[in-house]
C-alpha cells in the first residue's frame, strides 16, 4: 500500500489522463448537480468524508452523501458547483481543496439528477462549519474499508410501498446506498484497476 503523496499524485495523474463518461442531459426533467468526493489523510491513512443530510432538505432526506448540490446559473463550471456547495454545506474553503480529477457522471433514480463527481483532497484536521439546515453530521470512513470487496452488501429499503434490495456499504450506523454508493463503487473500481495501491 502506498503512503504519503505517492498515492495522491498517482490518483491525480490517472484521473487527469482519463475521459469521464458523460450522461446526456437531453431529458428536460433531469437536473444538473455536482458533488465533491473529499479525501483527507489521518493517522497516515487516507479517509473519505461524508455528510448525513437532515430531514428538512428537499431531496434525499436523512441519507449519507457527499457534499454537493444543484448547479447554479452563476457557477462557471461543474467543478465550481462542487467547490461552492462544499463550502456552503461544511465550510471547506475553495483554497483548501485540491481537485484531483473527475469521475464518471452518475444519475439518481428517484429525484432525476445527473451528478458530476469530483475527487478532492482537503486538509485534516479542519475547522468545519456545518450548515445545520442541510447537514446532520459528518462521517469519516477509511478508504481501505471500501477496498475490501466483502464490505459491499445487499441492503433493503422501502420505496413506493415496496421493499427494494440494493447494494450498500455499512460503516457503523452509516448506510451508504443509492447514487452515493454507485459513485463510490466507480471510484474504488478505478483505484483497484488503475492505480498501484
Q: What is the pLDDT of residues 69-126, one digit of tens each?
A: 999 999 999 999 999 999 999 999 999 999 999 999 999 877 789 999 999 999 999 9
144 has pLDDT over 90: yes
CATH topology of domain 5-144: Nucleoside Triphosphate Pyrophosphohydrolase (3.90.79)
pLDDT at position 1: 47
Least confident range of 121-125, 163-167, 168-172: 163-167
Least confident range of 70-84, 148-162, 168-182: 148-162
Say if pTM beats, i.e. exceeds, 0.85. Answer: yes
pLDDT at position 82: 98
Q: What is the pLDDT of residues 132-143, one digit of tens each?
A: 999 999 999 999
Gyration radius from the chain CA atoms:
16
pLDDT at position 26: 67
Amino acid at each position: 500500500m502506498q503512503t504519503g503523496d505517492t498515492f495522491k499524485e498517482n490518483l491525480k495523474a490517472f484521473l487527469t489522463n482519463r475521459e469521464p463518461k458523460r450522461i446526456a442531459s437531453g431529458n428536460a426533467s433531469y437536473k444538473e448537480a455536482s458533488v465533491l468526493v473529499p479525501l483527507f489523510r489521518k493517522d497516515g491513512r487516507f479517509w473519505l468524508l461524508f455528510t448525513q443530510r437532515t430531514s428538512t432538505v428537499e431531496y434525499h432526506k436523512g441519507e449519507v452523501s457527499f457534499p454537493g448540490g444543484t448547479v447554479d446559473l452563476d457557477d462557471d463550471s461543474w467543478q465550481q458547483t462542487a467547490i461552492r456547495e462544499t463550502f456552503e454545506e461544511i465550510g471547506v474553503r475553495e483554497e483548501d481543496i485540491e481537485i484531483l480529477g473527475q469521475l464518471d457522471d452518475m444519475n439518481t433514480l428517484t429525484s432525476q439528477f445527473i451528478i458530476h463527481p469530483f475527487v478532492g483532497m482537503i486538509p485534516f484536521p479542519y475547522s468545519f462549519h456545518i450548515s445545520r439546515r442541510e447537514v446532520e453530521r459528518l462521517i469519516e470512513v477509511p478508504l481501505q474499508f471500501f477496498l475490501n470487496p466483502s464490505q459491499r452488501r445487499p441492503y433493503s429499503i422501502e420505496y413506493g410501498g415496496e421493499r427494494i434490495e440494493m447494494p450498500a456499504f455499512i460503516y457503523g450506523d452509516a448506510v451508504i446506498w443509492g447514487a452515493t454508493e454507485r459513485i463510490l463503487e466507480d471510484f474504488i473500481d478505478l483505484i483497484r484497476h488503475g492505480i498501484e495501491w
